[in-house]
Amino acid sequence: MARGEGDGRPTAVEKRRIYVAFFVIAFAIDLGVGLVRYGTYAPTLIGLAIMITSALFLVYSLIRDR
């Protein structure tokens, strides 16, 4: 049995989907807030932190899976 297939833990592919989803959601919220406040994209500190963290987790997951 492969890891994550019956023990309730997510597989590597599912984890990567979550990382991408977090990145996209953080970017969309950041973009929306920036457009409403400033009329252009102006990233917030928390939005950048979430996007960078999710990107790093995604890259680490890809490297670890090889």
- Per-position pLDDT tens, the chain of length 66: 456 566 888 899 999 999 999 999 999 999 999 999 999 999 999 999 999 999 999 999 999 988
Say if CB 61 and CB 12 are below 8 A apart: yes
Encoding tokens for residue 45? 């500190």
Strand locations in 1-66 (E): none
- For residues 45 and 61, give the distance between their C-alpha atoms in angstroms, rounded to a whole number: 24
Instruction: Return the SS3 of 1.
Output: coil
Encoding tokens for residue 51? 């996007």
pTM above 0.75, yes or no: yes
Q: How many CB atoms lie within 10 A of CB 19?
A: 20
